[in-house]
Amino acid sequence: MQVIAEAIGHDYGPLPVLENVDLAVREGEVLAIIGPSGCGKSTLLSILGGLLQPSRGRVLLKGQPQADCLNPLTFVFQDFALLPWRSVAGNVELVLEHHRLGSAERRRRVADALARTGLSDFAAALPKQLSGGMRQRVGIARALAVRPAVLLLDEPLSALDAQTRELLLEDFESLWVRERTTAIYVTHNLSEALRLADRVAVFSRRPGRLKELVEIPLPRGQRSGAQAQVELAALHDRLWGLIRAEAQSAVTELEHG
Amino acid sequence: MKRLLLGAVCAFSLTVGTAVQGGVQAADEITVAALTFVSSSPLFIAQERGYYEEEGLDVSFEFFRAAQPVAVAIASGDADFGVTAFTAGFYNLAANGSLKVIGAQSREEPGFEFSAYLASNAAWEDGLKAPEDLPGHELGITQRGSSFHLMLGLLAEELEFDVDAVKLTTLEAVPNMMSAVSTDQVDAVILPGWLARRIEGEDGGRIIGWVHDYTPYQLGGLFTSSDNVEERRDVVERFVRAYQRGAADYAEAFHQFDEEGNRVFGEEAEALIPIIQQYTDATPDAIKASASYIDPEGALDVGSVYQQVEWLQEQGLVAAQADPASFIDLSFIDSHFNLPE
Amino acid sequence: MAEAVRELKFRGGGFAPGRKRWTALVFFALVLGIWQLAGSRGWVSPLFLPSPLAIFEALRAEAISGNLWIHLTASLQRIGLGWVLGTLAGLALGLAMGLFTLARSVGLPLVSAFFPIPKIALLPLFILWFGIGEASKLVTIGMGVFFPTVVAAYSGVDTVPRNLVRMAQSFSLPYSAIVWKVVLPGAMATIVAGFRITVSLALILVVAAEMIGAEYGLGAFIISAGHLMMTDRLLGGVVCLSILGLLAGTGITLLERRLLHWR
């Protein structure tokens, strides 16, 4: 399934945050969206996921999700958004309960999602008993349980410490090597984008415009070799140059405005 | 501190003697607890006509909104003298030993309309036409052990019916009783006559009898603390004298009848009404309508008090050990009557 | 010259009050002991402050005569029914105010206007409207319970993190499922905290409600004892109310543990 943004613009009251964004997410790709703080990245993701009505423009969906998909556009949130009164399994089950599934099928999906995220032993635990990284894994398990056509990840790692982030990054990598789920990955962290994405969309400072769409020519999983590192470093510098210019002018604007 | 001071002043006045009443010696300061009712009039008359002053008493009033606090104020020593109606609560307080009844307030006296039995319109239609018909009906009262409850008890004894045959509904306050009877929520109430007349006038109920026709009795009394009786007998005597003069003036003014037996209010009454108005804030008509019988010498119907206490004890509303002999002090007034053997 | 060495002074203590069960019991026993002593030694008149034993005796007499149970059951029925009615109505309006714009626009000024009215002052009106029977008593208690429940439910819904609702929406949970599975459990902590207040309020209001037209009931018992100047019975009734309050508080704590074990 493809997600296409057509001339999206959005204002919060008098404040324009997004301006004229055209973006087509290809089937099976991981598209990273990066840009300085406040550039409307998360707003765009909410719009693409149908949680926010854009002030201008529209979002189009093309193609059908696969047969076992229960929730085509599925979010993974920065703050995990787990129900604290439900166990790990309960949180995953929550998103299946309103679908017509046999209880066996439901249990199977929960067990499968927990197994794929390494949470099988923690099915009965409450969120407060888990570390931040484990909690985000519950968020990912919950997303996987509905077999999404497009995953919308809203800075999924930014609430976590560096080590946990690294471990989850590896999880994501192997996830996308195994199954080619289309994903839009919002982050402010350039190296995350370079590790995971097929393409990187760089946004300007507020009001956010799509400044550049950069293809990463190396396949995921083959970006750790020495040669690859050199190529990526060049790409990193180029992208960083773009973002830094935007971020700096945003700061200057703040200081003088 | 205040009480210590009062004690000192009192002791001084005892040693110097009472010969110099109202003379060079400073007047004894006393506090009187009262309700702003017409039935407290002798207290007000004595003040306004200077009877306290002539006895060397400097009286200040402390006014309350209910009978109970008046008695509590005396028992706790916050006031020296009080006048209110007798209730079970009063007797329990008195039985505790801190109060002494020394004189009379109002009484239900034949010929003086004071409290009325009032039937609701619905009950009247259904045949509640006289106090004799009360058994089997619901009577609204303020509280168990209140004057109204007592009046029912005395009526039951007089007419020899079982008091339990009258269902009681406690309504806390007189205004609630008035609204309950006029909306047919209770079958009957006992109310101060002038209020009963007002309801009847508004077609909210029917007066079916008067308490004085059935059970004349001692409504209330003048009382002081046991400490005062024991330690400041002289002050008590002087206060009682002033109170008696007030009561005599009141009786002179308000106990008059014409040849047909109707009450009349002459010059004396007209002279007293402004005084009473000052304290009660009532209209002259309301004062006349609620002017109860007060013994001109402040004499108590002692037998009535014994009868009340006995009935309330039977009902379990007054402690069994309460003995009227222990809380009535007959030594200040000679003319108390109906003394039990 | 060697530098003087001194131990670091700890400065992080305090500000963490805990609870010790036995200290409360010892303190309680001490107060009772002094109170009893003051009574039996005649330091205070039994009328003004009956001794604990006298209060116990008065209660025992009522218990033996069976009246205590009649009073208790009468009051418990009124408290229970009044509380349930007030709570259900309060939850309905409070949740509606938490969820719907219309209910919030209408409800908020309504609650602000009516909450501060002392229900006891309205008792005579309730009697005119609902009679002197049970209805006016239930309304008195129910009204007292209603408004705090509305506030608790409404602010409880407000405290549910928006992101949880967004999450539920992002998985296309139906509206009713979001209310039942996300909003209600999320608001439960505030709602149960409200119960703690409303149960106490119901106990306070039963005394007022039974001022009028109640033959039996703890409130009627207490008020009657007050009018009769039977202070030992009065305090006996108050002790019963306190015990009910303690039991209710414990009950709510248990409820909290059950419903909010995840905290």
Nearest by CB to residue C172, choosing from A71, A84, A126, is A71
Dihedral pair phi/psi, residue A78, rounded to 5°: -60, -40
Which residues of C fall within a CB distance of 8 Å from A138?
A: none
Which residues of C fall within a CB distance of 8 Å from A97?
A: 177, 181
With CB atoms and an 8 Å threshold, state whether A94 touches C181.
Answer: yes
Residue of chain A nearest C169, judged by CA positions: A51
With CB atoms and an 8 Å threshold, state whether A98 touches C177.
Answer: yes
Nearest by CB to residue A85, choosing from C163, C169, C262, is C262
Which residues of C fall within a CB distance of 8 Å from B175?
A: 124
Residue of chain B nearest C133, judged by CA positions: B185
Q: Which residues touch A223 (CB under 8 Å, ≥6 apart)? A: A194, A195, A229, A232
**Does C178 lie at the interface with B, CB-CB under 8 angstroms?**
no
**Does A49 lie at the interface with C, CB-CB under 8 angstroms?**
yes
Q: What is the mean pLDDT of residues A157-186?
A: 86
Query: Residue ranges per domain, chain C?
Result: 51-259
Residue of chain C nearest B92, judged by CA positions: C229
Tell me, what's the ipTM? Answer: 0.89
How far does the CA of residue B174 sit from the closest CA of chain C (Å)? Answer: 11
Q: How far apart are CA B305 and CA B312, in angstroms?
A: 11
With CB atoms and an 8 Å threshold, state whether C170 touches A51.
Answer: yes
Nearest by CB to residue A75, choosing from C170, C177, C260, is C170
Q: What is the pLDDT of residue B120?
A: 96
Tell me the average pLDDT of chain C: 90
Contact between residue A148 and residue A71 where contact means Cβ atoms under 8 Å apart: yes
**Does C64 lie at the interface with B, CB-CB under 8 angstroms?**
no
Dihedral pair phi/psi, residue A24, rounded to 5°: -120, 120
Q: What is the dihedral of CA A126, A128, A134, A140, to 10 degrees?
A: 70
Contact between residue B54 and residue B21 where contact means Cβ atoms under 8 Å apart: yes
With CB atoms and an 8 Å threshold, state whether C172 touches A79.
Answer: no
Nearest by CB to residue C227, choosing from B76, B89, B98, is B89
Residue where the block lists tokens 């999880």: A171
For chain A positions 154-213, those within 8 Å of chain C (CB to CB) are none
Q: How far apart are CA C159 and CA C190, in angstroms?
A: 8
Q: What is the pLDDT of residue A250?
A: 62
**CATH superfamily of the C51-259 domain:** MetI-like (1.10.3720.10)
With CB atoms and an 8 Å threshold, state whether C127 touches B75.
Answer: no
Q: Is A223 helix (H, G, I), strand (E, B) or coil?
A: coil
Beta bridge mates, B294: B106
Judge whether residue C171 has pLDDT over 90. Answer: yes
Q: What Cα–Cα distance (Å) separates residue B209 from each residue in B135, C65, C160?
A: 15, 37, 67
Q: How far apart are CA C134 and CA A51, in angstroms?
A: 51
Chains C and B touch (3+ CB pairs under 8 A): yes
Q: Which long-range contacts (CB under 8 A, 24 or more apart) does A159-165 make?
A: A159/A78, A159/A79, A159/A80, A159/A132, A160/A132, A160/A133, A160/A136, A161/A132, A164/A131, A164/A132, A164/A133, A165/A192
Q: Which chains touch A (3 or more CB pairs under 8 A)?
A: C
Residue of chain C nearest A75, judged by CA positions: C170
Contact between residue B332 and residue B232 where contact means Cβ atoms under 8 Å apart: no
How far does the CA of residue B204 sit from the closest CA of chain C (Å)? Answer: 14
Q: What is the mean pLDDT of residues A77-96?
A: 95
At C210-228, the pLDDT tens digits run 888 888 899 999 988 988 8
How far does the CA of residue A96 sit from the closest CA of chain C (Å)? Answer: 9
With CB atoms and an 8 Å threshold, state whether C262 touches A146.
Answer: no
Q: What is the pLDDT of residue B25?
A: 60
How far does the CA of residue B76 sit from the closest CA of chain C (Å)? Answer: 9
With CB atoms and an 8 Å threshold, state whether A94 touches C262.
Answer: no
Which amino acid appears at position C41 of this protein? R
**Residue ranges for chain B with pLDDT beneath 70:** 1-25
**Cα C129–Cα C130–Cα C136 angle in degrees, nearest 5:** 120
Percentage of chain A beyond pLDDT 70 is 96
CATH number for B2-109+218-332: choose from 3.40.50.1820, 3.40.190.10, 1.10.287.130, 3.40.50.720. 3.40.190.10
Which spans in chain A are helix H?
A: 41-48, 88-94, 103-116, 132-145, 162-178, 190-196, 226-256
**Does C229 lie at the interface with B, CB-CB under 8 angstroms?**
yes
Which residues of C fall within a CB distance of 8 Å from B172?
A: 211-212, 223
Q: How far apart are CA C238 and CA C217, in angstroms?
A: 12
Which residues of B fall within a CB distance of 8 Å from C48?
A: 76
Chains A and C touch (3+ CB pairs under 8 A): yes
Q: What Cα–Cα distance (Å) separates residue C258 from each residue in A19, C186, C261, C262, C263?
A: 50, 14, 6, 9, 11
**Cα A54–Cα A55–Cα A60 angle in degrees, nearest 5:** 40
- Tell me the two tokens of residue C85: 């009615």
Q: What is the 3-state secondary structure (H, E, C) of chain C?
A: CCCCCCCCCCCCCCCCCCCCHHHHHHHHHHHHHHHHHHHHCCCCCCCCCCCHHHHHHHHHHHHHHCHHHHHHHHHHHHHHHHHHHHHHHHHHHHHHHHHCHHHHHHHHHHHHHHCCCCHHHHHHHHHHHHCCCHHHHHHHHHHHHHHHHHHHHHHHHHHCCHHHHHHHHHCCCCHHHHHHHHHHHHHHHHHHHHHHHHHHHHHHHHHHHCCCCCCCCHHHHHHHHHHCCCHHHHHHHHHHHHHHHHHHHHHHHHHHHHHCCCC
Residues of each domain in chain B carrying CATH 3.40.190.10: 2-109+218-332, 115-214
With CB atoms and an 8 Å threshold, state whether A83 touches C173.
Answer: no
Q: How far apart are CA C75 and CA C77, in angstroms?
A: 5
Q: What is the pLDDT of residue A251?
A: 59
With CB atoms and an 8 Å threshold, state whether C167 touches A49.
Answer: no
Judge whether residue A253 has pLDDT over 60. Answer: no
At C74-132, the pLDDT tens digits run 999 999 999 999 999 999 999 999 999 999 999 999 999 988 888 777 777 777 788 88
At A92-120, the pLDDT tens digits run 999 999 999 889 999 999 999 999 888 99
Which residues of C fall within a CB distance of 8 Å from B146?
A: 227
Q: Which chains touch C (3 or more CB pairs under 8 A)?
A: A, B
Residue of C65, C224, C229, C231 to mutate when probing chain B, most B C-beta within 10 A: C229
Nearest by CB to residue C228, choosing from B72, B92, B180, is B92
Residue of chain B nearest C225, judged by CA positions: B89
CATH class given for the domain over B115-214: alpha beta
Which amino acid appears at position A42 of this protein? S
Number of B–C residue contacts, CB under 8 Å: 72
Contact between residue A3 and residue A73 where contact means Cβ atoms under 8 Å apart: yes
**Does A73 lie at the interface with C, CB-CB under 8 angstroms?**
yes
- Tell me the two tokens of residue B22: 């109202």
Nearest by CB to residue C213, choosing from B90, B92, B169, is B169
CATH class given for the domain over A2-256: alpha beta
With CB atoms and an 8 Å threshold, state whether A84 touches C262.
Answer: yes
Judge whether residue A170 has pLDDT over 90. Answer: no
Percentage of chain C beyond pLDDT 90 is 57
Query: Residue ranges per domain, chain A?
Result: 2-256
Which amino acid appears at position B92 of this protein? N
Contact between residue B85 and residue B285 where contact means Cβ atoms under 8 Å apart: no
How far does the CA of residue C120 sit from the closest CA of chain B (Å)? Answer: 13
Q: What Cα–Cα distance (Å) separates residue C178 from each residue in A4, A138, A235, B273, C172?
A: 29, 19, 44, 75, 9
Q: What is the pLDDT of residue B20?
A: 43
B231-240 burial by CB neighbour count: b if 16+ within 10 A, else e?
bbebbbebbb
Q: What is the pLDDT of residue C128?
A: 75
Nearest by CB to residue A98, choosing from C166, C174, C263, is C174
Nearest by CB to residue B179, choosing from C128, C220, C227, is C128
Which residues of C fall within a CB distance of 8 Å from A126?
A: 262
Residue where the block lists tokens 């009443």: B21
**Does C214 lie at the interface with B, CB-CB under 8 angstroms?**
yes
With CB atoms and an 8 Å threshold, state whether B183 touches C223.
Answer: no
Q: What is the pLDDT of residue C1?
A: 59
Which residues of B fall within a CB distance of 8 Å from C228?
A: 88-89, 92, 144-145, 317-318
